Structure 1
């Protein structure tokens, strides 16, 4: 595995296989003379992880987030055009909690309480902007609230993160929404609405396994949650279908690489046949002319 993947958390199977096949391609492209290849018979094992090569599977999923009001706000939802301008987090959205912690060292209890009240007002302003369809402005207000609300009030900060995720989902910034939901859950691990929005955002980014895991967690916290019940029935066949597709694409990719290696020798992968042992479930390769 490359150093890039070793240093990255939550590496997917697709990333691993794509990285491996890229290395094989690079190795083939750097050889000036394929006739110098020498192939020695040897047993080798293949990685069974899927590689994502085609277009991602699209389900008929309709984002339930469009129908969820913000916390502490019973407003009606507003339909607006989604700009889909990407998921790169801006500097104005980032929260430096270490700097916030240092700032709070010099604050009295009364000053911290005052900042909490100001953050609450900023949340209300963000909710009102959301209601008016001004999602960018609502994000700004929630962010100001997060930069103001003292760290000793995790519940209030969790709501600000979760509400900000709702605005980002409206703008189809699902990766950013996932980060905000994860922060909210970090502050309150029983925050059902944060799990809901993260599950929805995971599904929008084709992370179906992660989405299913969140829906299962929701059912642990709220066994009567209807959307989570439907999702635990709807997602498993989609996950199986996606994995089968990825497996087929992976095998096709490996076959193409094998043909590149065998071509100088007048051979192809068609000259080799995989046969599974019914007892050991292992595979052996048979050569046919």
Structure 2
């Protein structure tokens, strides 16, 4: 499914961050460049050595990448869990209906194996197994593929790969938009990654399917105050950056932001700016 990318107008906070970042960077850019070059060189050496060791281990011992000798994960992000759906689509054109059904049966067997691995807390192995199922299962079986993605998301959550788990939940919901269990999983992941607005939207979606869902009902009361608190904090930070920037601009004229008073209109919520000349004594 192709995602449409829309041009977005930057928020006030993004504009301010960009301006202040550019101003501050003039004073530190030289030292940062030197540090980055050193770190980049070290990173290349470390990554190079790591790649050789992992590759040698796989060739010499038969242990797949991402595992050590007692099957614990080295680094979950090394997993190749990308699903090339265009390749699958091209392949399916050449398959008969009987062949597609055979591939589905094999994928379902892989799902059973993945479920057993998950129950036995072999989460990394289960991610690999669910990935194999997704690469094998024909695209026409939306519901089964949705379950594979949902199960893989559960395994990734156990591995603390939260962003990747969110992406798998989203794929599962693209294939089955009434999958309440996955909305709940994604809502919790969104909250854990401080995406509170997205989390609340998922909980609202859950209530549209299951009005009595306890987790979603509790979230309706818990999240709005947290969102308001976060927004107030962001507003305070933004006004602080605006004040710093304003003082920098006004200093050559012998003025500061203290010469200007913000007054909020109680009806519209908008602000007006009044100039107040400091009296000399």
TM-score range, shorter chain: 0.7 to 0.9
Structure number with higher helix proportion: 2
2:190 matches 1:202: yes
In 2, Cα distance between equivalents of 1:30 and 1:191? 47
Following superposition, the deviation at residue 10 of structure 1 comes to 10
| Unmatched segments (≥5 aa) in structure 2 | 27-71
CA deviations on 1:117-144 (whole Å, 9 max, x unpaired) are 1111111111111112121111100000
Bigger RCO (CA 8 Å, 6+ sep):
1
Contact residue 85 and residue 171 of structure 1 kept, 8 A: no
In 2, Cα distance between equivalents of 1:137 and 1:9? 38
Q: 1:115 to 1:106 in 2, by over 3 A?
A: same
Q: Which of 19, 36, 41 is 1:24 aligned to?
A: 19
Matched residue, 1:108: 96
| Unmatched segments (≥5 aa) in structure 1 | 1-6, 32-81
In 2, Cα distance between equivalents of 1:85 and 1:267? 55
Contact residue 154 and residue 165 of structure 2 kept, 8 A: yes
Mapping for residues 177-192 of structure 1, pairs under 5 Å = 177-192=165-180
CA deviations on 1:30-84 (whole Å, 9 max, x unpaired) are 99xxxxxxxxxxxxxxxxxxxxxxxxxxxxxxxxxxxxxxxxxxxxxxxxxx999
Following superposition, the deviation at residue 245 of structure 1 comes to 1.2
Q: 1:83 to 1:117 in 2, by over 3 A?
A: closer
Q: Secondary structure at the match of 2:274?
A: strand
Contact residue 130 and residue 148 of structure 2 kept, 8 A: yes
In 2, Cα distance between equivalents of 1:85 and 1:244? 38
Matched residue, 1:64: none
Contact residue 187 and residue 198 of structure 2 kept, 8 A: yes
Following superposition, the deviation at residue 271 of structure 1 comes to 1.2
Q: Which of 168, 171, 174 is 2:159 aligned to?
A: 171
Q: 1:105 to 1:91 in 2, by over 3 A?
A: farther
In 1, Cα distance between equivalents of 2:7 and 2:154? 23
Matched residue, 2:213: 225
Q: 1:204 to 1:117 in 2, by over 3 A?
A: same
Contact residue 129 and residue 138 of structure 1 kept, 8 A: yes
Q: Secondary structure at the match of 1:284?
A: strand
Contact residue 259 and residue 275 of structure 2 kept, 8 A: yes
Matched residue, 1:92: 80
- Aligned residues between the structures: 230
Following superposition, the deviation at residue 23 of structure 1 comes to 3.4
Q: Which of 239, 242, 248 is 2:230 aligned to?
A: 242
Following superposition, the deviation at residue 162 of structure 1 comes to 0.4
CA deviations on 1:180-233 (whole Å, 9 max, x unpaired) are 111111101100111011101110111111101101111111112111111112
Q: Which of 218, 243, 247 is 1:255 aligned to?
A: 243
Matched residue, 2:63: none
Q: Bigger radius of gyration, 1 or 2? A: 2
Matched residue, 2:37: none
Q: 1:10 to 1:182 in 2, by over 3 A?
A: farther
TM-score (norm 2): 0.74
Matched residue, 2:54: none
Matched residue, 2:140: 152
